[in-house]
Amino acid sequence: MENKKVLLGMSGGVDSSVSALLLKKQGYEVIGITLEMFDNDSNVSLDAKKVCDSLHIPHYTFSCKNDFKRHVIDDFISCYSNCKTPNPCIECNRYIKFGYMYEKAKELGCYYIATGHYARNEYNKEYDRWVLKKSNAGNKDQTYVLWNIQKDVIEHIIFPLSDFENKEQIREIAREADLEVANKPDSEDICFIPDGNYKAFLENNSSIKAKVGNIVNSSGEVLGKHTGLYNYTIGQRKGLGIAYKVPLFVLGFNEEKNEVIVGEEKELYKKEILVNNINLLLIDKIDKPMLVDLKTRYSTKSAKATIIQNENTIKVTFEEPQRAITPGQSAVFYINDIVLGGGKIM
């Protein structure tokens, strides 16, 4: 008999709540789970539990604060310590939402896990494996933050929202079902920094402290002073405090000299980059040059690029130079709408 037990990750938001409703309608035996991931996170389960109670499905809350700190918060701090700009959702999805939660699912006898992500998966005969694919949600597709999950988990995932094109459709379902969270606002900030002030978070939770240094151009000319390398990101224009004959943008950092390097916008464009921390979902190795669609940020459009793997890195050559590519962010490779894999920009 098919195991139709599914463990659904629930944050108390409208996406995961409607996912619970849809899964139940589809005949799954749904168990809701809320993960407490950091301090001051103890109230997140209240809305999720209310939804589960209204749908008559069980709900559990588990603390994974130690795992979250080790894999997500510590990585976040480490990146900024090394002049990189992290995307903590990438690590959270790999180790917590599709790692820790999958292990809990097996403990509870569930064959499937489910989340409210906008993505899809299916078995692909050409590649003879389960693949991760873009959803129908257009700009809200979330496969960019899912490239780093374990490929063995893909066949065990259900994405109930894969066919929806926009958030309003989800909210309408919630309203029709009288779910209290129907009009709950989306959370836009980093979950463990609800006020959005990541600089204060770093100063209060790590050894990173403001250290004044020089702002220089590509020729080494000193143009001003900065307030700490972690206060700046590549592509930044505002807040430099420099009066100059042309607009200046942050190009990069010299960590050894404690310098922020700035330049004109045309200097922000790159034709080639290197990627490490590789995770391939579609194939096991890139043994010859491949033409792919590649995204370097969640919010940017994909660009055509050729990739080739060399031991522990992938060399990326874009057809057209790309703007403000940022170390620490992810480069995600697509073959049409299938996620080939990805890595971290060096």
Q: Residue 45 is part of a domain; what is its CATH number?
A: 3.40.50.620
Q: How far is the C-alpha of 247 from the C-alpha of 249, rounded, in Å?
A: 7
**Final residue belonging to a domain, choices 176, 195, 226:** 176
CB proximity list for 177: less than 8 A, separation 6 or greater: 18, 21
**pLDDT for res 3:** 79
156 in the same domain as 222: no
Residue 246 domain-assigned (yes or no): yes
214 in the same domain as 329: no
Q: How far is the C-alpha of 228 from the C-alpha of 206, rounded, in Å?
A: 14
**Final residue belonging to a domain, choices 176, 199, 231:** 176
Which candidate, 237, 242, 251, places its Cα nearest to that of 222? Answer: 242
321 in the same domain as 291: yes
164 in the same domain as 21: yes
Residue 167 domain-assigned (yes or no): yes
Q: Which residues of the chain have pLDDT under 50?
A: 1
Residue 300 domain-assigned (yes or no): yes
238 in the same domain as 283: no
pTM for the whole structure: 0.95
Classified as helix, coil or strand, 31 is strand
284 in the same domain as 224: no
Q: What domain range is 74 assigned to?
A: 5-176
Q: How far is the C-alpha of 160 from the C-alpha of 153, rounded, in Å?
A: 16
Q: What is the CATH number of the domain that holds 329?
A: 2.40.30.10
Instruction: Work out how many domains the chain is built from and give that number.
Output: 3
163 in the same domain as 30: yes
Return the number of other C-beta atoms located less than 10 Å from residue 263's C-beta.
17
276 in the same domain as 236: no
**pLDDT for res 43:** 64
Q: What is the CATH number of the domain that holds 241?
A: 2.30.30.280
Classified as helix, coil or strand, 192 is coil
**pLDDT for res 293:** 98
**Any idea which residues carry the catalytic annotation?**
92, 191
109 in the same domain as 140: yes
**pLDDT for res 285:** 93
Burial class (CB in 10 A: 0-12, 13-18, 19+), 330: buried
